[in-house]
Chain A
Amino acid sequence: MEHQHSSISSEVSVPQHHYSDAEFKQRVKKTTIILSIVTVIELGLGLLLYATNFDPWLNLAVKGVIIILSLAKAFYIVSIFMHLGDEIRNMIMTIVVPLLLFIWFILAFIIDGNSYKNLRNRYDQHFKESTMPKEHHEKPATEKPRPGKQ
């Protein structure tokens, strides 16, 4: 379907591919359904994490799945809704390649935060004792009322 696109600007030499109404409806419908279903799955996994007490590694694995699902959502939004997938390859690369910096960015700062925690737990006893999650169930016997401030 050609519209008045080619006459718009001398900068745009190859008219971009435009979808026919039927094609377009199909694509938007499909993307909307995918986004909705993925969101519902994410919510389900989020509630699953809340409702059950997984061991830490399984917990992390479920969170990893949620992150991957979010990335899939991001892909569909950018590629279909923002039509980046329909641009020419050179243009796509100028957007996507700089974003690869995020791989380092995320890893470096998360690892740094984690290392700071480990250092503090080793050298700052007060930090460790006052913030480490404790089990409440196992110590009703050693019941000592805290002295108040007044």
Chain B
Amino acid sequence: METTGTAQQPKWWSGGKSPFNLEYGKLMMWYFLMSDAFTFGAFLISYGSIRFSQNFWPDPNVVFNAFPGAGHANLPLAFVSVMTFILIISSVTMVLAVHAGHKGDKQGVIKWLFWTIVGGLAFLLCQAWEWHHLITGEHPTLIDGRIEWIGQTTSVNPWGQSVDPSTAAAALQNSSQHSLALLAHEHNHEMSHAQLMGMPKEQLINMIKTADLHIREKGPVAFGGYFYGITGFHGFHVFSGVIINIIMLIMTQKDVFAKRGHYLMIEKCGLYWHFVDLVWVFVFLCFYLI
């Protein structure tokens, strides 16, 4: 065996040992992560390419301005910063789990892995809320000269350019009773939707203050596909990371690693988990910040 002296550089390529001074599994995890980085990179670059090919792209601060429990308050970047900090903190707890593993501290590994899993689940819950809010939250949008209420899906985007009041007023005439009732309800909360649906159209249109209307045109369709596709792919990584961490937690609990004499498995899963955090840095950058 090699002596472990650090005085002279070992001959890395003389055989019988890893020239990278890493065990096989960890090295392969690195290469997997590198290829995964290219997958994410390709998605994000494709998104960038499409975005640069458009004259108009929705402002993320307009799209992502909701916060659970805050109603219609305009809070750009607030919720996504919570999600970002959740991932940063869960990355830190993972570092602590790996460190506990180095020391062979089973209880420490269990404790920090548990908190990492909690962080991952919290992130997934946040993402579920955000998707749900985007898909079901409908916005008045000018489509073919009428106003329709649409959510953000992969086939339609309600975040186009603002429509000027005169165009919006003209579009009211062509809009359905349902759309008008929803618009009237925005300013007039005393009447229920059913009551408004029963009113004549003319009266409904008169109730709507055209100056207060915030109508947008349809935005670029690609927005939804890229957003759900890329955040979904990232969310899937978080999900699989949580599953892997749960398996690690069970294995630690059952003394698998203690019997093996080392906790290298925790290190490999830690690499994967940090990678998930790393990808989020760029998803956060590309979709929410710029």
Contact = CB atoms under 8 A, between A and B. Distances in A.
A107 to B, nearest CB: 10
Contact of A148 (B61, B85, B164, B174): B174
B281 A74 contact: yes
In the A-B complex, the 9 residue pairs with the closest CB atoms: A113-B52, A148-B174, A113-B49, A145-B170, A11-B18, A91-B20, A50-B61, A113-B53, A109-B49
B88 A88 contact: no
A105 B45 CA distance: 8
Tell me the dominant secondary structure on chain A's binding face.
helix
Contacts of A117: 52-55
A11 B23 contact: yes
A9 B261 contact: no
Interface string A91-119: 10011001101100110011011101100
A146 interface: yes
A110 B49 CA distance: 5
Contacts of B237: none
Interface of A: 3-16, 18, 24, 28, 32, 35-36, 39, 42-43, 45-47, 49-50, 63, 66-67, 70, 73-74, 77-78, 81-82, 84, 87-88, 90-91, 94-95, 98-99, 101-102, 105-106, 109-110, 112-114, 116-117, 120-121, 127-128, 131-134, 136, 139-140, 143, 145-150
B176 to A, nearest CB: 11
B45 A109 contact: yes
Contact of A67 (B27, B34, B167, B285): B285
Interface residues of B, number: 80
A10 B262 CA distance: 14
A127 B262 CA distance: 62
Contacts of A88: 12, 20-21
B289 A150 contact: no
Interface in B13-71: 16-24, 27, 30-31, 34, 37-38, 41-42, 45-46, 48-56, 59, 61
Interface of B: 1-2, 4, 6, 10, 12, 16-24, 27, 30-31, 34, 37-38, 41-42, 45-46, 48-56, 59, 61, 76-77, 81, 84-85, 88, 91-92, 94-96, 99, 102-104, 144-146, 161-162, 164, 166-167, 169-171, 173-174, 261-262, 264, 270-271, 274-275, 277-278, 281-282, 284-285, 288-290
A134 B1 CA distance: 73
Contacts of B278: 74, 77-78, 82
A106 B45 contact: yes
B285 A91 contact: no
Nearest to B55: A131
A106 B102 contact: no
Given A66-B285, A109-B48, A131-B56, A7 B77 contact: no
Contacts of B12: 88, 90
Given A10-B1, A46-B77, A3 B21 contact: no
